[in-house]
A and B are shown apart, each in its own frame.
Chain A
């Protein structure tokens, strides 16, 4: 360990940018621009940058004070103890699952864009077999041992920055003046503005990769906070520049013409010609493949950490003899990535990834406040300025972004929130079951499963007259009755054994 090479500030900035610059910019700008906010998407991006910067100040203080491996999981564990840290770990895992699924969808979309330039017939083939391609991509990444990530990150960041700089430089030859980039001061416009910011937020969250890499940075107490702040500012400037040019180059009316190319690919094509379209499609493909791989590694690391602490089965810690990776954790997580990826619902996945990350950000800000009160003498090489305003502002902004898309009744946001809540409920049941005495685990599990079946059966019977088509009415009632009966039987038998 003594000879382990440590990285300086510049490398730390690259790690931060490498975590954040990725496939999201290829996927998320479309819905935000064409369906939600129009040109005022640029202001929403700026708002995301501000929220990210505020929360990165909290991350900076916590990572400098607690430089151990684990990131959010460690901060919440020290601040609040087991349950909250378990929640933080699970939410981080969820965000990673949804992010990985989104990356897999972007991979297929960008592959389609690339082939649209060369061979439209192959593009159709790609889009028709999207599910198969996603499964194939994930299986290949499971089988491959993911090595040399560090070098790949540097290359990808350098390539991305170069592409974006060329794109911005070439746009100087055009007169681009997008209108209405600031939202109107009306309640409906502000609701759309916040919903757009929530949707675009995953473009920034990868920055925290720097926190997990803190042990590899020289003088982390000084360099990590600096790198976090510098890379956040740099990233926001690059994103704003690219979005400004894209919005200027592609008028909103293009959505009406039925052109299904993503915004960034359309803009690249308009500014740089066919070369631009190819370059951006290639960049999208590389970024998405890299992100799926990273998501799987992150997921296995999170599940491994929680398994080590006894929250999840020890089997998740098993390391493959040849590849040296936690193969059971990777395969388990990959199933979720495939499950959500083959749905192909970019908007749903964007919101779902965002919700998980926003909740984690709120927990990190709460942890900062709690640690200042609980451990006032903790050595803090960096202190978040304007305390307690910064963490409080971070919490309020995260909550705003979480609630507005649902208030706006965006169907994608609603289904994403419901799905996330459903998965969080499973997480809570898991925690409850793992934390009770082992000898009554099995019967408690039966009670829990029985309760779920009973509840599902009652819900089904209540909803059937409202939602069921006549042909399915009797079947749904029967399924509901069987579920209720099964629930009662499971609860009665198990409750007696627990007593």
Chain B
């Protein structure tokens, strides 16, 4: 059970990091920081879709990661 708890906590932390990074990437795309729109070859007309996908992925990753970290600490 201890191994499973550790695995749960590590997965949770990894998901939190992924979620936060996805959110940061979404903000960078919106503001075109470091020319990321060009780097990732994002056409302007598809920008809202990219933002939505990244935003949702970030949101669900953070929520899921939180649940797993909580489970790992119980």
Chain A residues in the interface with B (C-beta under 8 A): 131, 339-340, 342-345, 347-349, 352, 411-412, 415-416, 418-419, 422-423, 426, 446, 449-450, 452-453, 456, 479, 482-483, 485-487, 489-490, 493
Contact = CB atoms under 8 A, between A and B. Distances in A.
B48 A483 contact: no
A415 B7 CA distance: 37
B67 A345 contact: no
B39 to A, nearest CB: 10
B30 to A, nearest CB: 5
A418 B49 contact: yes
B13 to A, nearest CB: 10
**Main SS of the interface on chain B?**
helix
Contact of A348 (B14, B45, B53, B55): B45
B64 A450 contact: yes
Given A131-B31, A340-B51, A345-B44, 15 more contacts: A343-B51, A347-B45, A348-B48, A349-B48, A415-B45, A415-B48, A418-B52, A419-B52, A446-B67, A449-B60, A449-B64, A483-B18, A486-B12, A486-B68, A487-B64
Contacts of A349: 48
A452 B40 CA distance: 25
Nearest to B12: A486
Interface in B1-54: 7-8, 11-12, 14-15, 18, 30-31, 43-49, 51-53
A489 B11 contact: yes
Q: Kindly name the residue among B8, B56, B64 whose own CB sees the greatest number of chain A CB atoms within 10 A.
A: B64
A339 B23 CA distance: 12
A174 to B, nearest CB: 35
A340 B11 contact: no
A422 B45 contact: no
A398 B45 CA distance: 24
Q: Kindly name the residue among B7, B47, B49 whose own CB sees the greatest number of chain A CB atoms within 10 A.
A: B49
